[in-house]
Structure 1
């Protein structure tokens, strides 16, 4: 009798396991990539109109529960609405689309979407004559069977999901809903928000940065923003002077960066890695959109590279770069897929007026993450030989083009992880040295390549509480050959202790008439006078030569 009972239990358990496995396969069969990452895949190409939206939930405790759609026509937006915070429950948004030319007179298209517990017609007098259709998750749809409406700019053509009460939508033609989806929030850590696009995709015009009429050009370097999905939690700071007060990291970081964008009015922003705090960003896209909106609202071009934390969340470097490349005012590029890393590229800043000559070249390279050979070289990865070859070949080619420029052409480089030469204890430093540089222990020779090809300034992030510029000099002649700068950490989501360190941003101002580069920092300090100062202002290049001012 005992053996029969045990055998029955095992059989039931095996059957449940098999059912769970097939339910898993069924769920994954219908997953599609989010619209924000692959806007050009067939399911999202121009001409598709959204005809219905719904939410479906499923439970791993119920073997008959499945998140698979009711038919093959429905497509899942591959973002789990609880972000994995409820282990036994999942929820997804599904979208039904039709080709515009295949719409019949009886087919309805979505013209508006609301999130509400009550029928919008009951709460909004202006909607009293409109019929709203209820869906799961508090979704209300206004749909029309009139075929002409599908051709209008008001028809919904794409749907996506963002997360957090601070979620923003920087994409042209998109709108994030004010209220989150109404789900069973037991254990839910982030609000899931529906965002929709009306009409067809807006073409993103490539911005060409240019020196101002006065011959000057200002760059803001923002390093280590460490943004999260949602507000995030501050590290190593007590902004109000009272222990226990809540401190929302992303709010403070974005306010700080926004303030200095308005005060300094840079012509370009370089994001030098760790924009996303991977471990607290289960939806990296929501974090990316928050910093991008700052620049898009102000119409400031920006270029980004990655750090060691960016891809520790929900998206790899390739997917994040694809998002960045699709946003307005972004100059970011993935670079060649034949060399190591994602984000090896250059930005040309043209001379004033209508000139097509480059006055300034910025080289941006991926410094990867952690050492691939920890047994021999502990710590962090290094710039690879094929990246250095790419840089040398590119610099040589560009130099021939730059020879046609009537003034002295200037070159700079930006990376995330410092190169080994930052550890030189004999280098002349201007600024704060608060922690040993965590450069790779293997030296691949990138510094020599920079000097050989006339790059006079390289600036990095990574070590948050270092903000100095170190002067590298020739061993033979002791002449200055390269300034190696730190930006200093700007984000409250990353560490920033070490003796009351204030978050900061670095600026570079170029005067092309004088072939001069001047740099300084600005801090987010409780001291009002400190907040206004340009700290450690120094001329690092003058007359097209590296100088020690």
Structure 2
């Protein structure tokens, strides 16, 4: 490759290594090579929207429809790079794809409008010191694909050495299978016109366009396709990123023997998902109280999910098997399932640290494990970030919020400008003459300049005041606020005796600093209750100057816990707009059937 030759030439000039780095970046930006692991696009210079397209409200209907994506998949592949110090050598087949396109038509507009999107995620998940593997997709506008009969992808296949009869599950005619009984799967795939994309992924193209795909994605979980509208898994088997993957049961795996077998060896398995070119209709979210005036909210705080199975921290009750075998995410999400079954909430509020950033090498996978549950159950949800959500992974905060906003059943929102991401309100309409319920969702996740956590800004306070002004015509709306880091006023709990405090106070309050007056602002706007996360082993509520201050309590086994026999828990709120009463209780990980610490505030 051109890159290798340049590296060989410039290696002779040891004193010019800085120039070498600049020259390498210049060459890597051309088609057929690869640059740093960031979202890039081809000659059209457009940015990919990521996993989910925007959605469009359809006036007068009870559904939304995705905005039409004009692009279709014509190729998929991998950029494999080996790097040492300033030297990097990369290989891919993007050049061959351009050559295939050019062989179909000499209309240069096809090349000009071709989108090459390289995913930020490294499929080696940071396990290799010198090697990275970044998938890419090549897409062409549908009108050009149709006009010139450009072959587009119509079939995928993941070859796994564990079972050489897998081809029987594809659309290959029986006579061809019978005629090739003594032929290996690889040869059969070649004979059927499949391209070897690498790492066990094969795809076939056809000018017939009987099946067309918009997008492809690579996730570290085998079951997400069951919950995401319009998306499906290519195979139950993972790609062959490592030797163990070639003999993996994948989605067919039974983990019931986790007590004696460490399933974390499969944390890094990669699965391929595709989205067909079909319209996806999603029910429109409409939040309103029930006819009896009630509305129920489940708060999930500090789930600390990761990309793989998740490693447990401080599990309690104590385990009767090795800690290394504990599957934090599996058990946390099973707990969430049980509480959702019991409570059947109208809304789920996620108050930060959904992800444990340092252990999360793919943010999409970790988030979708949780949000896929809510999507499958058709439960609306509102989300704010915590301090760990964006520490690692593959998505920057803005990209993550964009993804969340455009997922089904999300009522989350972002506001551009100085206010920051994750500051918005959720309004639940009342029935008849009953007042609405207003939830203020606020971003408290920014680190402070001298350690600790940044206080709420004047812009955020003014923003909440403006939101509140929109409800001046409503009759006494019932207002609550949710965010991650506790306000300094939470430290006042030390002055409250146990009889006037409901719940556990097992660790010191770690608030934002300095005190910039957000509590006073929220109180002046008649916010009646505030609930936060962050301090996992606190789950108390107490009255502070007329406002109830609560903790959700740590939910996830992937976050610290276990202090003084502390058991993971989930908080529930029921708001009665008739009596204007707010009732809250919790459910425990080891006994979810029982409500504990019932607390009523009127």
2:232 is the counterpart of 1:171: no
> 1:230-249, aligned counterparts within 5 Å?
230-237=308-315, 240-244=319-323, 246-249=325-328
Shift of 1:219: 0.4
Shift of 1:66: 3.6
CA contact (8 A) 1:220 1:507 kept: yes
Deviations 1:322-347 (A, max 9, x none): 11101000000012x23333111000
> 1:497-508, aligned counterparts within 5 Å?
497-508=562-573
CA contact (8 A) 1:67 1:92 kept: no
- TM-score calculated relative to the size of structure 1: 0.84
- Between the aligned partners of 1:451 and 1:15, the Cα distance in structure 2 is 62
> 1:483-494, aligned counterparts within 5 Å?
483-494=548-559
- Between the aligned partners of 1:68 and 1:124, the Cα distance in structure 2 is 28
Deviations 1:196-217 (A, max 9, x none): 1001463555412110122211
Moved more, 100-109 or 452-461: 100-109
- Between the aligned partners of 2:225 and 2:305, the Cα distance in structure 1 is 13
Shift of 1:40: 6.2
- Between the aligned partners of 1:143 and 1:321, the Cα distance in structure 2 is 34
What residue is the counterpart of 2:12 in the other structure?
11
Shift of 1:193: 1.9
CA 1:16–1:341 in structure 2 vs 1: closer, same or farther (change >3 Å)?
Answer: closer
> 1:274-353, aligned counterparts within 5 Å?
274-314=353-393, 315-335=395-415, 337-352=416-431
CA 1:486–1:120 in structure 2 vs 1: closer, same or farther (change >3 Å)?
Answer: same
2:81 is the counterpart of 1:48: no
CA contact (8 A) 2:435 2:577 kept: no
What residue is the counterpart of 2:239 in the other structure?
181
Instruction: For structure 1, list consecutive stretches of 5 or more residues without a partner in the other structure.
Output: 1-7, 474-480, 542-549
- Between the aligned partners of 1:241 and 1:519, the Cα distance in structure 2 is 33
Shift of 1:105: 5.8
Moved more, 258-267 or 422-431: 422-431
Shift of 1:101: 1.6
Instruction: For structure 2, list consecutive stretches of 5 or more residues without a partner in the other structure.
Output: 1-8, 29-33, 42-46, 56-66, 99-110, 177-191, 245-264
2:590 is the counterpart of 1:533: no
2:531 is the counterpart of 1:459: yes
Match of 1:297, SS state, is helix
RMSD: 3.0
Corresponding residue to 2:471 among 384, 398, 409? 398
Corresponding residue to 1:509 among 574, 577, 581? 574
2:158 is the counterpart of 1:115: yes
Shift of 1:506: 0.5
- TM-score calculated relative to the size of structure 2: 0.77
Deviations 1:415-446 (A, max 9, x none): 11010111012233111000111012411111
What residue is the counterpart of 1:437 in the other structure?
509
Shift of 1:35: 4.3
> 1:199-214, aligned counterparts within 5 Å?
199-200=277-278, 202=280, 204=282, 206-214=284-292
CA contact (8 A) 2:79 2:134 kept: yes
Deviations 1:55-78 (A, max 9, x none): 342322685544583247544233
- Between the aligned partners of 1:484 and 1:225, the Cα distance in structure 2 is 20
CA 1:465–1:125 in structure 2 vs 1: closer, same or farther (change >3 Å)?
Answer: closer
Deviations 1:210-254 (A, max 9, x none): 101222111000000111011110100165333446111111110
- Between the aligned partners of 1:45 and 1:77, the Cα distance in structure 2 is 22
